[in-house]
């Protein structure tokens, strides 16, 4: 008796169709993120690309009989390969930043270019909301981050000068702009309460009197303002109105962060940076760890 031919695999069990669907979703997310520059969409797409690579590479190896191992084993192997390759890429990027002339704590200057606020509708709505809530613009600043690119910052304060809001416009590689917010208040006992949604890695140390909460997933400014005021209520000390110049305060912060992180071993002393780079080996590990936390979990290292 001649054995019957094996029936073709059912579409629901063939990984080709889920992989094609996942790649389509990834391309859609990429296009959406090109428009909205959302860290949340970027996180979902990174996980999706990781799974596409692991399952897709395992499927190719099994289908062409490159490796004679069970499919789940191949998936786990290529899942690890992605981790190792991206780890190598991140380490090289951190090393390049460490030895580059780009400043880790750039100095802010007045923005007199006339480009204070992007004209994108979603960002113009943020400005209108600030005005409707009684916030007034006090300064427009910028800091050169290398290659002729500038980080633009627009600073607002509420009517009581108790809450200072920094809107940071971060340029993206694809040409879009992401807005991040840094909310800060100073207390009468000398502490500073900071609430931000920055998604760029830091990995360093903050002064002990800074109470920092970073929430990259929280993208809506009204929710951040509400959260910041809750934190002020729990601080147990009255709020001291801002009286200093925002640019002078920001540059003073940058200087203090540089000094503190050099003292605590995150950065090399200035006289060693030409030979060793700016970031120490311990500091590079902290940055690498925070890159993974932010890129795939949307959570930075906890600072308080």
Please report, in tens digits, the pLDDT of each residue of the chain (304 residues total). 444 444 444 444 577 888 899 999 999 988 887 777 788 888 999 999 999 999 999 999 988 878 888 889 999 999 999 999 999 999 999 999 999 988 899 999 999 877 778 888 888 999 999 999 999 999 999 998 776 778 899 999 999 999 999 999 987 766 677 889 999 999 999 999 999 999 888 889 999 999 999 988 888 999 999 999 999 999 989 999 999 999 999 999 999 999 999 999 999 999 999 999 999 999 999 999 999 999 998 888 764 4
Instruction: Return all residues near 88 (Cβ < 8 A) that are at least 6 apart.
Output: none
pLDDT in tens, 209-230: 999 999 888 889 999 999 999 9
What is the C-alpha to C-alpha distance for residues 5 and 287, in angstroms, rounded to an integer? Answer: 56
Q: What is the pLDDT of residue 120?
A: 83
Q: What is the pLDDT of residue 86?
A: 95
Pick the closest to residue 135 from 163, 168, 167 (CA basis): 163
What is the C-alpha to C-alpha distance for residues 273 and 93, in angstroms, rounded to an integer? Answer: 17
**Alpha-carbon torsion angle 108, 109, 112, 117, nearest 10:** 10
How large is the C-alpha radius of gyration of the chain?
24
CB distance 179 to 168 below 8 Å: yes
Instruction: Give the global pTM.
Output: 0.84
Pick the closest to residue 63 from 116, 9, 1, 144 (CA basis): 9
The secondary structure of the chain, three-state, reads: CCCCCCCCCCCCCCCHHHHHHHHHHHHHHHHHHHHHCCHHHHHHHHHHHHHHHHHHHHHHHHHCCCCCCCHHHHHHHHHHHHHHHHHHHHHHHHHHHHHCCCCCCCCCEECCCCCCCCCCHHHHHHHHHHHHCCCEEEEEEEEEEECCEEEEEEEEECCCCCCEEEEEEEECCCCCEEEEEEEEEEECCCCEEEEECCCCCCCCCCCCCEEEEECCCCCCHHHHHHHHHHHHHHCCCCEECCCCCHHHHHHHHHHHHHHHHHHCCCECCHHHHHHHCCECHHHHHHHHHHHHHHHHHCCCCCCC
Q: What is the pLDDT of residue 123?
A: 87
What is the C-alpha to C-alpha distance for residues 35 and 294, in angstroms, rounded to an integer? Answer: 21
């Amino acid at each position: 008796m001649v054995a019957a031919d094996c029936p073709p695999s059912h579409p629901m069990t063939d990984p080709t169709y889920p992989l094609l669907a996942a790649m389509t979703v990834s391309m859609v997310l990429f296009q959406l993120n090109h428009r909205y520059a959302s860290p949340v969409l970027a996180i979902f797409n990174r996980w999706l690309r990781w799974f596409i690579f692991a399952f897709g590479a395992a499927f190719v190896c099994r289908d062409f009989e490159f490796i004679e191992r069970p499919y789940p084993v191949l998936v786990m192997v290529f899942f690890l390969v992605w981790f190792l390759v991206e780890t190598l890429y991140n380490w090289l990027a951190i090393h390049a930043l460490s030895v580059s002339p780009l400043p880790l704590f750039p100095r802010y200057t007045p923005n007199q270019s006339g480009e204070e606020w992007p004209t994108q509708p979603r960002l113009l709505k943020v400005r209108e909301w600030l005005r409707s809530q009684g916030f007034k613009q006090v300064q427009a600043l910028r800091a050169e981050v290398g290659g002729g690119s500038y980080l633009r910052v627009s600073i607002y304060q509420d009517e009581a000068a108790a809450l200072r809001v920094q809107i940071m416009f971060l340029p993206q590689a694809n040409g879009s702009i992401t807005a991040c917010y840094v909310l800060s208040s100073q207390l009468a006992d000398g502490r500073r309460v900071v609430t931000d949604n920055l998604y760029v890695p830091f990995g360093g140390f903050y002064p002990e009197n800074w109470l920092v909460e970073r929430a990259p997933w929280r993208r809506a400014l009204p929710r951040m303002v509400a959260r910041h005021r809750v934190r002020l209520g729990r601080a147990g000390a009255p709020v001291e109105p801002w009286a200093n110049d925002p640019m002078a305060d920001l540059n003073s912060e940058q200087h203090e962060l540089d000094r503190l992180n050099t003292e605590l071993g995150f950065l090399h002393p200035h006289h060693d940076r030409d030979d060793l780079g700016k970031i120490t080996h311990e500091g590079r590990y902290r940055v690498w760890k925070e890159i993974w936390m932010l890129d795939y979990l949307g959570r930075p290292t906890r600072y308080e």
